[in-house]
Chains A and B, each alone.
Chain A
Amino acid sequence: MAHEVADQERILASPWSGGQSPFAVGWPKLMMWLFLVSDTLTFAGLLAGYGVMRISLGQWPRQSEIFNLWLGGGMTFILICSSATMAVAVAAAKSGDRKRVTPCLLATVFGGLLFLAGQYYEWSHFIHEGARLFSNPWGVPQFSATFFITTGFHGAHVTGGVIYILITALRWARGRIQPESIEIAGLYWHFVDLVWVFIFTLLYLI
């Protein structure tokens, strides 16, 4: 009996104690994390499908020669920068540095818009060269299909994120929200950056 009590105390002191707030974060933040985990599975499905097609076909156009590496690299750079400004906005909101939050959020929105402009340029260039959803001049129809679907899905996430952060910035400027809301918007934006890391690696570089 005695050791059971000791066991219980040990569990209560561990990260698995449960209780009122088992994860030691508020429910909105926990829900955002769970959404991001499930959204990861969506993108993992798209990228795995791409991998299966590419491996099983055995032939694939040299992506690093078709896409402009510096444009892709530049878009990666922009997204990393906007992620950094978002991180600063979250830190500023949490540490009470209120006046720095809105400019950082707007810088993040600007970065997102620049990224979308880069993607618009890339898509229109690619379409101009003859790429369509189910056909392209490079011989492997799946090549343009995976490109349009995967980057399109990611671009939709960026668009959603730009709108989300813009609304968050406006609401923060009017004093309607707490720092936790900035943090949650930040989690979403960093996730968009995180997904781009893998899309850039798998669809542009390899």
Chain B
Amino acid sequence: MTDKAHEGGYKIYLVTWGWLLAITLLEIGIVLVRLPKAILVISLIILALMKAALIMAYFMHLRYERLNLIYTVVTPMFFLAIVLFAMIGPDALHVFRSR
């Protein structure tokens, strides 16, 4: 192991760190410019999911794991997201409207 090989091995974390930082700044930026509420919420959720994907894929090395481990981890999150957004969301809106 030479020092050069190490530099190459750590570069991916530096790049991931840079992207996470850039997305965080973008998030704060779009809050400060006061976009319409719907656009703000949708873009913030997309940006948060991008950050989550970066952390899981590179910091947690999930990208380099075997496919069945990736599915084991990602599937519950995916179905949970569907349940939360597709079922609980409209339910809560219904409570709000029936007040």
Contacts and interface: CB of A to CB of B under 8 A. Distances in A.
Interface in A87-135: 87-88, 90-92, 95-97, 100
A81 B17 contact: yes
A105 to B, nearest CB: 14
Given A51-B88, A97-B6, A30 B40 contact: no
Interface string A12-37: 00011000001111000010011011
Given A15-B68, A55-B92, A95 B1 contact: yes
Tell me whether chain B's interface is mostly helix, strand or loop, or mixed: helix
B84 A48 contact: yes
Contact of B92 (A24, A52, A191, A194): A52
B93 A55 contact: yes
B69 A33 contact: yes
Contacts of B44: 201, 205-206
Contacts of A194: 52, 55-56, 60
A96 B6 CA distance: 10
Nearest to B19: A80
Interface string B52-93: 100110111100011111001100110010001000110111
A55 B89 contact: yes
A73 B17 contact: no
Pick the 8 closest A-B CB pairs, nearest first.
A55-B92, A56-B95, A15-B67, A84-B17, A201-B48, A24-B66, A56-B92, A87-B13
14 contacts: A24-B65, A33-B72, A40-B77, A51-B92, A58-B99, A69-B32, A77-B24, A80-B21, A86-B59, A91-B13, A97-B1, A183-B61, A201-B45, A201-B48
